[in-house]
Amino acid sequence: MSDREDFRFWVETVLCQAERALHDGDAAPRRALWSRNEPVSVLGAWRNAIGRQEVDALFSALEESFSDCTSYALELQAFDVVGDMAYTACLEHTAVSVDGEPRTYTLRATQVYRREEGVWRVAHRHGDTVTG
């Protein structure tokens, strides 16, 4: 497989499994995929975080809020790999309980990745709610 095909496979398997786990109340798989190197950032649909400490606190808050994920689907709109950098632009369709209340929503999410020691890591995420 090409670098681009390998990256897409990783996104559609490993990354999706980590996001599903987060929505079931387990942030550990998502944390494992995030860069250990600064800068890291999230411009989130509900909360922003800049730097490893804030990003980790955000993941803890999401882990506490999310439960009972009945559906998570990542609809990849665009992606590319250029050397040790990559990005994805996608729609994330989710059915989950947030603070005990069932919700269904779609987020537009753009992520930036760095290859660190041969492994893809997320360095930045921007997500917002699709309306209308």
pLDDT values of the chain reduced to their tens digit, one per residue, 132 residues? 799 999 999 999 999 999 999 999 999 999 999 999 999 999 998 899 999 999 999 999 999 999 999 999 999 999 999 999 999 999 999 999 999 999 999 999 999 999 999 999 999 999 999 876
Read off the CATH number of the domain in which 30 is found. 3.10.450.50
Give the Cα separation of 8 and 12 in Å (integer). 6
Q: What length does the chain have?
A: 132
Confidence (pLDDT) at 132: 62
| 8 A C-beta contact, residue 125 and residue 115 | no
The one-letter code for the residue type at 88 is T
- Count structural domains, the chain: 1
Confidence (pLDDT) at 89: 98
pTM, two decimals, is 0.95
Give the Cα separation of 82 and 78 in Å (integer). 14
Q: Which domain holds residue 26?
A: 3-129
Q: Which of 17, 46, 33, 60 is nearest to 122 (CA)?
A: 33
Confidence (pLDDT) at 45: 86
The one-letter code for the residue type at 8 is R
